[in-house]
Amino acid sequence: MAKHPDASAIYALISNRKLSKAEWIVDFVVQPGIVEVLDRMKGIAGFYLVEKGSRQYFVKVTKEFITTHELPGKVDGKRFVIGNHRYTKGYRIV
């Protein structure tokens, strides 16, 4: 919130990795959900969708950095995909 004080809305995002077929098989055989746990252990604290007027920004917060990327198109709806991750809008912070 301190980085984007002029935001009209900030949403917490829930991230789920889209697994390839090979990753899904390994995940299922070793321990269902292990790939997700390993992703969480990488030190990512959270993902956020920030809205400022007609623009939207994807914000990734880690222990060391806060990175902000403007989204090329408007995200409508509750779910969207960026790269190999699926994001679901969670609760509204602002």
The answer to whether position 3 is within a domain reads: no
The answer to whether position 4 is within a domain reads: no
Domain encompassing residue 29: 9-92
* Per-residue confidence (pLDDT) for residue 16, from 0 to 100: 81
DSSP-derived 3-state class of residue 4: coil
Consecutive 10-residue runs of the chain (94 residues): their mean pLDDT? Answer: 88 86 84 74 80 93 89 90 88 90
* Per-residue confidence (pLDDT) for residue 43, from 0 to 100: 59
* Per-residue confidence (pLDDT) for residue 29, from 0 to 100: 86
The answer to whether position 63 is within a domain reads: yes
Q: What is the DSSP string of 14-77?
A: EEEE---HHHHHHHHHH-TTHHHHHHHTT-EEEEEEEEETTEEEEEEEESS-EEEEE-SS---S
DSSP 3: S
Number of domains into which the chain is organized: 1
* Per-residue confidence (pLDDT) for residue 32, from 0 to 100: 79
The answer to whether position 1 is within a domain reads: no
The answer to whether position 66 is within a domain reads: yes
